[in-house]
Amino acid sequence: MNFVHIVAMLAIAQFMFFAIQVGNGRGKYGVKAPATSGHEQFDRLYRVQSNTLEQLVCFLPALFVAAIYWPPVYMAAIGVVYLVGRTLYWLAYVKDPSSRGMGFMVSFVAIVLLMLAAVVGALFRSPI
């Protein structure tokens, strides 16, 4: 289960990194709180952070539940795919929002796989 915990903490660290990027963007682009838009580049940073938060709500429970029923190292590997997807999403969205699709799909597919593993495990397997 250690690998699952490490991946979960990396996902939270990644989200915090995106939050720091938003904070830095506020200063760099002059977007004062509580505003959540104002400069296009800031808006991109903010959307990456927001979308990642939306994905974390699905990712973390799916990761932990799936790891109860299937070998945790495999579930952690799927979690790493999620992290790579989120990184690709960030890099693409900041550069050109229309190119974000690949990163989104990589992380989304990882979440769907974890959710399926969790549901199938809960229905047909005993916890490991």
HEC profile of the chain: CHHHHHHHHHHHHHHHHHHHHHHHHHHHHCCCCCCCCCCHHHHHHHHHHHHHHHHHHHHHHHHHHHHHHCCHHHHHHHHHHHHHHHHHHHHHHHHCHHHCHHHHHHHHHHHHHHHHHHHHHHHHCCCC
Number of domains in the chain: 1
Position 82 scores a pLDDT of 98
CATH number of the domain within which 76 lies: 1.20.120.550
For residue 72, what pLDDT is reported?
Answer: 98
For residue 33, the enclosing domain spans: 2-124
pLDDT of the chain along its 128 residues, tens only? 799 999 999 999 999 999 999 999 999 999 999 999 999 999 999 999 999 999 999 999 999 999 999 999 999 999 999 999 999 999 999 999 999 999 999 999 999 999 999 999 999 999 98
